[in-house]
Amino acid sequence: MVIVIRYDNGRIDAFDTVSFTAPQPFPAKNMLTNFELKLDALGTTGLWLAAHYYDVDPAYRGDAEGGEIPVARRKMGWRFLLAQADEVAHVRTVELDGSIVMRRIAGQLIDYARFEERAKAALGEKPSAINERVLALYDCIERKNRALGLPVDAGTIAGEFGFTAKMISDIEAACGFEGNDWNGDGDESR
């Protein structure tokens, strides 16, 4: 796995879990390695990658009853600091194996994979420009919520895909839609 972090000053860090590392960094009984990109401490301790392993000790076969397949045990491995807390404010994007999973939008580093998953389900591939995509997804969720009688406040809708109401407002302002009917539905209430 390759992780690439791009910063606002042009710096690029690349981390490779294969190159220049021992082919078996965990005990010889490891059959599966679990990598976890930890986003929960971005502002306090930084961006971390944790690597855990699944131990297949033959003793575990005795725990399996009646011909069941034995269960490997997940064991804690190690964690690695990819970006210090003071560097996080300068991160533009984080990629995993060529796919952007985090991106700075409207001044905030967001879980871009979460956003894109939701956007693809609702919008498909169009629009492709990020700001238009954010606003189109917002509009789609707002319309759905109105139709279902669900909350239509900006914070609730934006929160469904990892944004805040302020981020939506900032994107609307940047696109020149502030106070305008940008989506063409006649509703200028936002």
Q: Are residues 152 and 66 in the same domain?
A: no
Q: Which helix (H) or strand (E) covers residue 102, if one does?
A: strand 99-105
The pTM is what? 0.80
Could you tell me if 93 and 116 lie in one domain?
Answer: no
User: Does the pLDDT of residue 90 top 50, yes or no?
Assistant: yes
Instruction: Work out the pLDDT band at 185, boundaries 50, 70, 90.
Output: very low
104 lies in some domain: no
Is residue 93 one of the residues assigned to a domain? yes
- Tokens at 119, concatenated: 């956007």
Q: Which of 8-17, 62-71, 101-110, 139-148 has the lowest mean pLDDT?
A: 62-71
Residues 146 and 118 both lie in one domain:
yes
Q: How confident is the model at residue 22 (pLDDT cuts 50, 70, 90)?
A: low
Give the sign of the dihedral formed by CA 92, CA 102, CA 23, CA 80: positive
Same domain flag for 37 and 124: no
CB within 8 A of 114, min separation 6: which ones?
A: 161, 162
* AA identity, residue 114: R
What was the pLDDT predicted at 20?
A: 61
Q: How many domains does the chain have?
A: 2
Residue 185 domain-assigned?
no
The Cα 140–Cα 153 span in angstroms is 13
User: What confidence score (pLDDT) does residue 163 get?
Assistant: 93
Q: How many whole angstroms separate alpha carbon 172 and alpha carbon 132?
A: 9
The CA-atom distances, in angstroms, between 150 and each of 93, 123, 159, 170 are: 33, 20, 14, 24
Same domain flag for 52 and 137: no
For 122, the domain range is 111-174
What's the rounded mean pLDDT across residues 170-185?
67
Buried b (16+ CB within 10 A) or exposed e, 104-138: bbbeebbbbbbbbebbeeebeeeeeebbebbbbbb
